[in-house]
Amino acid sequence: MKISICKKTAMISSGILLCSCAMMTGLMFHPDFNKFRTDYKAGEYDLAIAEITPKSDTPENAEIKFDSKAYGSYAVIAGMEAGTAALTAGKLEDSTKYLDMADGDMEGSFSFSSYKPKFYDKIMVNTYKGIAFWAQGDTDHANTEFNRLYERQKEAIEEHKREIEKNEEKLSSQESQEQLHAVQDVLNKEYTEYKNFKPYADFTNPFSTYISALYHVTAGYDKSEVENAVNYMRRVKTMSSNQYLASDIKMAEDRANGKKIGSNVWVIYEEGMAPEIHKKEIRIPFPTKSGIKMAKLVLPEFVSLPHSYQFVTASTSNGSYKTQVLADMERVIKTEYQRRYPVVVTSAVLFMIANLAIQEGSSQLINKTIGKKLDKKMSKHGGLVGKLGKNKLGSRALSSATSVAIGELLTYPLDTTTWSTLPKEIQMAKFKMPANRKIKITAAGGQVIADVKIEKKIKNAIIYVRSPAANGHTNWFVIDANKAKQGN
């Protein structure tokens, strides 16, 4: 007996198989991300991390929490979340281990992962690893991570270009073009998520670009990297209205020209949490041979979370300095979704075309094989049921209802998982090192959240402040910005 399998059916079947394997891979480990977020907002960082990392059965097996195999399909998302929580708690070595685990799984196959990382995820993993290594004085590894994030920004642009090219190939048929135009007409009226939205350019994350440039200016040891940092600082200035950037650009130019850069303090303030992504369902009518079919398109709807403290103020013997927005992470995230929007819509349309073909086939199958039997059986009954079975319209209605049911099951999927511990905004202030080296940082409402005394051995200091929620615990640590590879 010969069995022929439709290619589309085979593709769907293989997708289900991969999904099943992915679920089985993480069968023994089920991180509780809801409890994680609750504990994280409350400032209970150790409890939060424990909710999403595997438990070791013996002290000797404690390193299991950094082993991606123990996480199954959750290694990428759990690694990123735990890495951020550890960074917020000031557990820098743990942070780099969690993030390194996530980074390693990003480079592998996503077939068994419950989450496919976005471009901004990859860039921020390198950013946070660079910051954590820098804060530990391990500037050799910090240098690697900051250079890697530039590469990933380039990779994002190139990969997106390839996506667009593949997208155009998929739409080569006239039918696909017609269906896409029909969808676009509906979306233009009903989906306004990106209306009047101003994206950042070319998948650029202003904060990642800035912090890596600042590293190369203060701790860098390669002249060409310092010269590149000047251009990166200037690029950030085109994307941010932060007034302290002008001083940083002047400092970078001086360093590139061999001049001394003085003694400074930066306050980097990460506040709030990244937006949630909800599903917005849009029903789109499609004409087919057997009548109008309703397809369902699911697109992302961004839900902003509250600010923590809208700014912080650094008070010194020289004056007070209020932080200003350097990068809007919500805008970074939304930029990627907007850039990939045409690809997502095209994939959804092609999925719906296949969906409609299945619906159409199911209608014909019901009419040919089941319809006649239903007509005979239903005609014996009175009332509406009997009348429905006595005519062709009744059979069509039944087959249409069955088709819609099939269509509901085959709605184009949308992953709403996000790296939730990314901040809402990243802000920055800069000022000269005060003579007494004392800095008091207060929240917008006047609450003192940090009393910092900079050690004498530190010439240029970064006070890194993280505040996920206003009622939670605000944490901070100091980075010796001049601690270069040579140890000076």
- pLDDT value of position 198: 93
CB atoms within 10 A of CB 396: 16
pLDDT in tens, 253-291: 999 999 989 999 999 999 999 999 999 988 888 777 777
When pLDDT is averaged across residues 458-485 and rounded to a whole number, the result is 89
How far is CA 348 from each of CA 182, 190, 223, 342, rounded to the nearest angstrom?
Answer: 13, 16, 48, 10
363 or 220: whose pLDDT is higher?
220
- Looking at residue 398, its pLDDT comes to 40
- Average pLDDT taken over every residue of the chain: 82
Report residue 264 CA to chain centroid gap.
Answer: 33
Q: Cβ distance 275 to 303 under 8 Å?
A: yes
**pLDDT given at position 223:** 86
pLDDT tens-place string over residues 122-160 = 999 999 999 999 999 998 999 999 999 989 989 998 998
What band does 488 get if pLDDT is binned at 50, 70 and 90?
Answer: very low
For 88, counting Cβ atoms within 10 Å of its Cβ (0-12 exposed, 13-18 middle, 19+ buried), the class is buried
Token readout for 108 is 């592998």
What pLDDT does 176 receive?
Answer: 65
Q: Which of 66-75, 96-105, 177-186, 444-453 has the weakest average pLDDT? A: 177-186
pLDDT for the residue numbered 365: 55
Q: What is the dihedral of CA 401, 402, 407, 408, to 10 degrees?
A: 80
Order of strands, sheet of 312-316, starting from the edge strand that comes earlier in the sequence: 319-322, 312-316, 438-443, 448-453
Q: What is the pLDDT of residue 88?
A: 94
State which amino acid sits at residue 272: G
* pLDDT on residue 2: 30
- Over residues 284-326, the pLDDT tens digits come to 887 777 777 777 888 999 999 999 999 999 999 999 999 999 9
Specify the pLDDT at position 407.
45
In this prediction, residue 442 carries a pLDDT of: 96
- Whether pLDDT at 13 is above 50: no
Q: How far is CA 396 from the centre of its chain?
A: 44
User: What confidence tier does 6 reach under pLDDT thresholds 50, 70, 90?
Assistant: very low
- Which of 53-67, 118-132, 241-255, 465-479 has the lowest average pLDDT? 53-67
From 141-145, 160-164, 181-185, 330-334, the region with the lowest mean pLDDT: 181-185
Task: Provide the pLDDT for residue 19.
Answer: 41
Least confident of 221-230, 278-287, 348-357: 348-357
Average pLDDT of the residues in 81-89 = 97
User: Cα separation of 364 and 400, whole Å?
Assistant: 10
pLDDT of res. 175: 60
Tens digit of pLDDT for each residue in 90-118? 999 999 999 999 999 887 644 467 788 99
Specify which residues 265 forms β-bridges with. 431, 461
What pLDDT, on the 0 to 100 scale, is given for residue 3?
27
What pLDDT shows up at residue 24?
Answer: 39
% of the chain at pLDDT higher than 70: 80
pTM listed for this prediction: 0.83
Quick one: average pLDDT of 362-370? 55
